[in-house]
Chains A and B, each alone.
Chain A
Amino acid sequence: MSRYRLDPQPGEVIDRSKTVSFTWNGRRYEGFEGDTIASALAANGVRVLSRSFKYHRRRGLLTATYHDPNAMVQVGDEPNVRAAHQVLNEGMEVSAQNVWPSLSLDLKAVNQLVSPFLSPGFYYKTFMAPRALWPWYQRVLGRFAAGGVVNPEHHSAEYDHRYAHPDVLVAGGGPAGMAAAIAAAESGASVILVEEEPALGGHLRFGDDGDLQALANLRAAIEAQTAIEVMTDAVVAGRYDHNWVSVVQRDMAHVEERLVLARAKHLIVAAGTLERPYVFKGNDLPGVMLSTAARRLTNLYAVKPGDKAVVLTANQSGDAAVADLERAGVEIAAVLDARNGETVVEASGRKGVQTVVDSSGKRTDADLLVTAIGWTTSTALLNMAGDRPVYESRAARFLSSSLPLNVLATGGLVGDGTTDQLIEHGSAVGRAAARRAKTVKATWQGATSHAAPGEIPTLDVDDHPELFRSTTHGFVDYSEDVTSKDLLAAAEEGYDSIELAKRYTTAGMGPIQGKVEAVNALAVHGEAIGASLLETSTTTWRPPYAPIRLGTLAGRNREPLRHSPIQPWHERHNAKPLVAGQWIRPDHYGDPEAEVRAVRSGVGIIDVSPLGKIDLRGTDVPRLLEFVYVNKWSKLQVGKVRYGVMCAEDGVIMDDGVTGRLGHDRYMMSTTSGGAGGVWNWLDDWLQTSFPEWDVKMTAVTDGYASINVAGPNSRELVGRLTEIDLDADRFGYMEVRTGTVAGVTDCFLWRIGFTGELSYEIHVPAGYGLWLWENLIEFGDDLGVTAFGVEAQRIMRLEKGHFIVGQDTDGLTQGFGVGIDWAIKMDKPDFAGKPELAWQKERGGYPRLVAVQTDDPTVVPPEASQIIDASEKIKGRITSSRHSPTLERSICLAQVEEGLAQGGQRLNIRLPDGTTVAATVMADQAHFDPEGTRLRV
């Protein structure tokens, strides 16, 4: 065993019976189960963990926590692992980051020699000119950037989300937080207790025998409470409106990380304090560490942090460190008591601390310098809850000042005390939180009276000297290599606002995000501008409090997909899938042009199940239809269907489709596939907010029916083989609807419409029979050559017919009169959605028109969105749809053009993406094929 590993300690968390081996920069080492990477390295005498960001100075443990700025390492594929937090696992390959060629000989450390030139703003000032050299600068500077190595081949792990609904969520598992959780649970609340470290206890974990006993009692009480869910190695990342709290659970057994989204009826913030480093010359040398870091090493991991120590103490933690180090066999060379005005001026040494100079000028040889000069309150969550923590100079730290009624704070955020006093305060807060959570619950259930919030005892504050910087300069921000000198220089250069100085110097902008350095930066900057910033300002912390992986935010892919009931057949027949919103539809089954020819010459079937379908019943349905469509509906007879266009209140076309009257008070509306949800909401909006007295009952039945369009000259023959419904052309005409039995399935309805331009019947069958009907059509149409066709063939055929598609041939500015449906817009109706805008559109004129366009060269198919230009290259319109037509054996287009170019016979120039131009002509009719519609009316 290494000479740095101590004999068993009372609070140690390592299991000496289990050895864990790992490598550090390629060399094999051993630690114990329970060690962190950093403690195992320390136990092996490794003191240098990293090189600093800018100057590549050697750095060792500072805080020995997750938030240690000097302890980021690469583990296998994963960069930026927090070595002082990450528990050691067998076989870990750990290496130093940002070093070249090695940690011990880092050539980039030459930066130190030019450090006077690496002053704040160095990059901005130096690499400004010449501009042309910037790409080169960027490449070279990139090599000097910090951070580990990302392996693009890294197998991405699973991440989870979970929703939780605790009555009380406690952020922080120290004595006050634990006591709060216990008291809240005893008061009947369900509790989630979140602790960032791998075990509950906070500072009690590395405390004395009394602390350990108190911790054991608290842990036993929590163990006994089934209403408390404990999350360790988890961190509350953010608190949002109405106590929406995000918790990141790290290092889970089966997933990399889990994001818990908790709606806490009450939140208790017990985040405690972080120990603050002291600013002096040499304060970043390996061997300079905080008292809590030294105590963690000795008491939790049984590691001797050095051989000979100087301790600067201003509080009990420093005093306790002296005792702990003595017990660990560290020689205490000197104790400097800051409460008596003693302080450290300088630490020096080559690879770590060798000599410490104190304020009396005395030089002491030591390889360990422990500082205990004060605490920084973890106010981030308080900030997110709207608190504006106030600086209390007596305690030399910020304290909570005002919180909303659904948040309480306890522990170090509020004051100081003995363990018993902290537990007493936490308990009172826990009880109050449970009470308030009950009130919230009651309010949610409709109660109107509220219980009084209840009194919360106060917690005294211990006096603490204000200590930030010694008489010398040192590092304020370890992760960004920003010194107190840099901050003073920034102030000198005119950055007299801390917000500007922060951005200029980048203090607080590194991976630690100000947790360790923000207060020192405020103090030093205040010193420079001659005002105490601490008393006038506070830092605003925004979520997340700690880093979250992108995978954690994303969670698992839960995007819903919709398939029609006929999907199994499509898959068996190699349909090429088309993603249409949430729907996956068959684009084609191999050759869309062959599918078109089959429909035009015989019969084809297409699955149009995603078509929106809304069942409307009631005596006022015609009034609703009159209002939401631009055309007339009041005289629609039973058995008839009509095509309608809907406009929004700004006159812009929002949807189209056919609606049929199935019975006296029964209608079926169809919408576009993509518009189904929006139209349903639109109708509900009008019915609920404007016409509540209308008798209309609406049910969305899109998923309730499978829909199959049977199209082509032989469609009547095919459908007739499967139904008793009379399909005779005279008795079931174009734009009519019938209900009945098809293929033995009752409750079908079918309407005779013609999106494809052919005789066609759209059969809507209860969804469970969709596949049955489809397979029947295939089987009974075999001798007719029935062909399944997909969305692409349908799109070609509708383009041949000049039918527009909302959102394809229209855009967010296309109002009703722009698409050639003037015949349908009935301005003599007293009112309908969008009517005033349509009236003004017509009056104003000058709007773009949708026209059919054919290129002179029939082989050129201009890509959609190609521009239409005039002789002076001015844009006059664009191609909205474009295909090769197998029926006409040439290219065909729809285009939006300016009014003056919309007449039939108008010559146009189309600019193609390759820069060439093709000539084209506007057609007299919007339909390229069968403009008279004779094929529909057979």
Chain B
Amino acid sequence: MATRSGASRTRTTPPVLLSVETPADSRGGALVMLVIVCPNCGPRNDNEFNFRGEVIPRPSVDTDPATWRRYLYMRGNTSGWQRERWFHVSGCRRFLNIERNNVTNEIRMVAEVGGDTT
């Protein structure tokens, strides 16, 4: 079991044993099919969800173009643990915050937006 970093949060799902995973470079296939344990619907295949990517706060509309375009186009492209947003479009239609290791595909936190602390 990989270690969990950060405090556990309200309405989160616990770390999923199933998602204790392997280095991405050892898996050749383009097909990725994760199990996401939706807090409302339970374990579901990732093709029920929209991936919305990194969570990026929206700047004020009075901001300068450079800041706004960072919001539109620039991504941290972290290797490792990432906080990202998914939309359970074919399920409960709730937006979720997920902490996923994009190298191993381990998922350690799934919570409705607003249901966790950030």
- Of the listed stretches A36-44, A240-248, A368-376, A605-613, chain B binds A240-248
A831 to chain B, nearest CB (A): 5
B65 lies within 8 A of A242 (CB): no
B87 lies within 8 A of A440 (CB): no
Q: Which residues in A have their C-beta under 8 angstroms from that of B34?
A: 241-242
Q: Which residues in A have their C-beta under 8 angstroms from that of B63?
A: 836
A601 within 8 A of B: no
A450 lies within 8 A of B35 (CB): no
B65 to chain A, nearest CB (A): 6
Contact (A444, B37) CB under 8 Å given A384-B28, A404-B22, A689-B113: yes
Interface residues of B in 28-69 (CB under 8 A from A): 28-29, 31-35, 37, 42-43, 45, 50, 52, 58, 61-63, 65, 68
Interface residues of A in 835-870 (CB under 8 A from B): 835-837, 840
Q: Mark A645-657, 1 if CB is under 8 A from B, else 0.
A: 0000110000000
Q: Which residues in B have their C-beta under 8 angstroms from that of A383?
A: 26
A217 within 8 A of B: no
A404 lies within 8 A of B58 (CB): no
Q: Which residues in A have their C-beta under 8 angstroms from that of B42?
A: 444-445
A51 within 8 A of B: no
Interface residues of B in 1-34 (CB under 8 A from A): 1, 13-23, 26-29, 31-34
A892 to chain B, nearest CB (A): 36
Contact (A241, B37) CB under 8 Å given A386-B27, A448-B14: no
From B29, B35, B71, A242 is in contact (CB under 8 Å) with B35
A570 within 8 A of B: no
Q: Mark A554-590, 1 if CB is under 8 A from B, else 0.
A: 0000000000000000000000000000000000000
A447 within 8 A of B: yes
Q: Which residues in B have their C-beta under 8 angstroms from that of A472?
A: none
- Of the listed stretches A290-298, A680-688, A701-709, A874-882, chain B binds A680-688
B95 within 8 A of A: yes
A450 lies within 8 A of B45 (CB): no
Most B-side CB within 10 Å, residue of A263, A443, A835? A443
A543 lies within 8 A of B89 (CB): no
Q: Which residues in A have their C-beta under 8 angstroms from that of B65?
A: 836, 840
A240 lies within 8 A of B29 (CB): yes
Q: Which residues in B have their C-beta under 8 angstroms from that of A541?
A: 28
A400 to chain B, nearest CB (A): 13
A292 to chain B, nearest CB (A): 28
A388 within 8 A of B: yes
Q: Which residues in A have their C-beta under 8 angstroms from that of B35?
A: 242, 263, 444
B58 to chain A, nearest CB (A): 7
A469 to chain B, nearest CB (A): 29
B101 to chain A, nearest CB (A): 11
B31 lies within 8 A of A681 (CB): no
Nearest to B29 among chain A residues (CB) is: A543
Complex CA–CA separation, A238 to B29 (angstroms)? 8
Nearest to A832 among chain B residues (CB) is: B61
A744 within 8 A of B: no
Most B-side CB within 10 Å, residue of A241, A383, A386, A835? A241
B95 lies within 8 A of A688 (CB): yes
Q: Mark B87-110, 1 if CB is under 8 A from A, else 0.
A: 101000111000000000100000
A94 to chain B, nearest CB (A): 34
A406 within 8 A of B: yes
From B28, B62, B85, A540 is in contact (CB under 8 Å) with B28
Nearest to A543 among chain B residues (CB) is: B29
B114 within 8 A of A: yes
A444 lies within 8 A of B95 (CB): no
The total of interchain contacts (Cβ-Cβ below 8 angstroms) comes to 115
A542 lies within 8 A of B29 (CB): yes
A631 within 8 A of B: no
Complex CA–CA separation, A406 to B85 (angstroms)? 26
B74 within 8 A of A: no
A404 lies within 8 A of B20 (CB): yes
Nearest to B73 among chain A residues (CB) is: A650
Complex CA–CA separation, A444 to B28 (angstroms)? 27
Complex CA–CA separation, A446 to B11 (angstroms)? 10
Q: Which residues in A have their C-beta under 8 angstroms from that of B26?
A: 383-384, 386-388, 540
Complex CA–CA separation, A832 to B28 (angstroms)? 43
Complex CA–CA separation, A840 to B89 (angstroms)? 33
B85 to chain A, nearest CB (A): 7
Complex CA–CA separation, A445 to B26 (angstroms)? 30
A265 within 8 A of B: yes
Q: Which residues in A have their C-beta under 8 angstroms from that of B13?
A: 446
Q: Which residues in B have their C-beta under 8 angstroms from that of A387?
A: 22, 26
A386 lies within 8 A of B105 (CB): no
Complex CA–CA separation, A692 to B94 (angstroms)? 12
B114 lies within 8 A of A386 (CB): no
Q: Which residues in A have their C-beta under 8 angstroms from that of B15?
A: 443
Contact (A684, B93) CB under 8 Å given A241-B34, A543-B29, A689-B113: yes
B89 lies within 8 A of A681 (CB): yes
Q: Mark A429-458, 1 if CB is under 8 A from B, else 0.
A: 000000010011001111110100000000
A440 lies within 8 A of B58 (CB): no
A404 lies within 8 A of B21 (CB): yes
A418 within 8 A of B: no
B18 lies within 8 A of A681 (CB): no
Complex CA–CA separation, A440 to B14 (angstroms)? 11
A405 within 8 A of B: yes
Complex CA–CA separation, A21 to B22 (angstroms)? 51
Complex CA–CA separation, A444 to B43 (angstroms)? 6
Complex CA–CA separation, A482 to B2 (angstroms)? 45
Q: Which residues in A have their C-beta under 8 angstroms from that of B62?
A: 836
Contact (A835, B21) CB under 8 Å given A685-B87, A688-B95: no
B22 lies within 8 A of A385 (CB): yes
Complex CA–CA separation, A541 to B15 (angstroms)? 29
From B37, B50, B61, B72, A681 is in contact (CB under 8 Å) with B50
A835 lies within 8 A of B61 (CB): yes
B17 lies within 8 A of A440 (CB): yes
B17 lies within 8 A of A384 (CB): no
Q: Which residues in A have their C-beta under 8 angstroms from that of B71?
A: 649
A690 within 8 A of B: yes
From B18, B72, B89, B113, A243 is in contact (CB under 8 Å) with B18
Nearest to A441 among chain B residues (CB) is: B43
B14 lies within 8 A of A384 (CB): no
Nearest to A261 among chain B residues (CB) is: B33
Complex CA–CA separation, A543 to B33 (angstroms)? 14
Contact (A444, B87) CB under 8 Å given A383-B26, A543-B28, A689-B95: no
B22 lies within 8 A of A684 (CB): no
Complex CA–CA separation, A836 to B15 (angstroms)? 40
Q: Which residues in A have their C-beta under 8 angstroms from that of B68?
A: 836-837
A241 lies within 8 A of B95 (CB): no
Contact (A692, B87) CB under 8 Å given A443-B18, A446-B13, A650-B72: no
Contact (A436, B17) CB under 8 Å given A450-B1, A681-B89: yes
A240 lies within 8 A of B72 (CB): no
B31 lies within 8 A of A240 (CB): yes
Complex CA–CA separation, A447 to B18 (angstroms)? 13
Complex CA–CA separation, A446 to B27 (angstroms)? 28
Complex CA–CA separation, A238 to B94 (angstroms)? 31
20 interchain pairs (CB within 8 A)? Answer: A242-B18, A383-B26, A385-B22, A387-B26, A404-B20, A404-B21, A406-B17, A436-B17, A443-B15, A443-B37, A444-B18, A446-B14, A681-B89, A685-B52, A688-B94, A689-B113, A690-B58, A835-B61, A836-B62, A837-B68
List residues of A whose CB falls within 8 A of some B CB.
238, 240-244, 263, 265, 383-388, 404-406, 436, 439-440, 443-448, 450, 540-543, 649-650, 681, 684-685, 688-690, 692, 830-831, 835-837, 840
Besides A406-B18, A836-B63, 18 more A-B contacts (Cβ < 8 Å) are: A240-B31, A240-B32, A241-B32, A242-B19, A242-B35, A384-B28, A387-B22, A404-B21, A405-B1, A405-B20, A406-B20, A444-B35, A540-B28, A543-B31, A684-B87, A689-B113, A692-B114, A836-B61
List residues of B whose CB falls within 8 A of some A CB.
1, 13-23, 26-29, 31-35, 37, 42-43, 45, 50, 52, 58, 61-63, 65, 68, 71-72, 85, 87, 89, 93-95, 105, 113-114
